[in-house]
């Protein structure tokens, strides 16, 4: 099972029905991919202008699939004028969770050592 993270930056001037239409369109492109989690990060300022826009509306998706993301998915995102930027990366959410669980178990198994405290020696000046 492969997991991906998709971050989209949409034009901030889009109305709520237009945003809904675009998200439904993108979900339609990902019909064979399971959307595990969907977050709206809201409108945020951009570090630099993208397509003459100072801010953007951010969306974050976590995706799971047995295969790969459709071949033409990124081309479709690039062709859409309302998507300012996108980032699609392969993430390993499950592996990170298991590594965290392993380190927690190891920490519980190891006996805790008492910390040693060294006293500071103070030097006095002779007059």
In a domain, 19, yes or no: yes
pLDDT at 113: 57
Which tens digit of pLDDT belongs to each residue from 54-97?
A: 999 999 999 998 887 888 888 999 999 999 999 989 887 554 55
In a domain, 21, yes or no: yes
**Cβ neighbours of residue 53 closer than 8 Å, sequence gap 6 or more:** 11, 12, 13, 46, 84
pLDDT at 87: 92
Answering whether pTM is above 0.75, one says no
Cβ-contact 64, 1 below 8 angstroms: yes
In a domain, 123, yes or no: no
The whole domain housing 22 covers 2-87
How far apart CA 62 and CA 20 sit, in angstroms, is 18
DSSP 68: -
In a domain, 113, yes or no: no
**CATH number of the domain bearing residue 22:** 3.30.70.60
| Tally of structural domains, the chain | 1
In a domain, 39, yes or no: yes
Sign of torsion, CA 22 78 56 27?
positive
Q: What's the whole-number average pLDDT of the chain?
A: 82
In a domain, 55, yes or no: yes
Residue 103 pLDDT more than 60? Answer: no
């Amino acid at each position: 099972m492969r997991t991906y993270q998709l971050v989209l930056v949409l034009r901030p001037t889009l109305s709520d029905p237009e945003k809904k239409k675009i998200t439904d369109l993108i979900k339609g492109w990902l019909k064979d991919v399971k959307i595990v989690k969907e977050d709206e990060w809201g409108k945020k300022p951009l570090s630099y202008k993208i397509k003459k826009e100072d801010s953007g509306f951010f969306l974050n998706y976590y995706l799971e699939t047995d295969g790969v993301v459709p071949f033409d998915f990124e081309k479709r995102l690039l062709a859409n004028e309302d998507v300012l930027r996108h980032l699609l990366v392969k993430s390993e959410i499950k592996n990170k969770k298991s590594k965290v669980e392993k380190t927690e178990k190891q920490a519980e198994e190891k006996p805790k050592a008492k910390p040693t405290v060294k006293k500071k020696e103070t030097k006095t000046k002779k007059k």
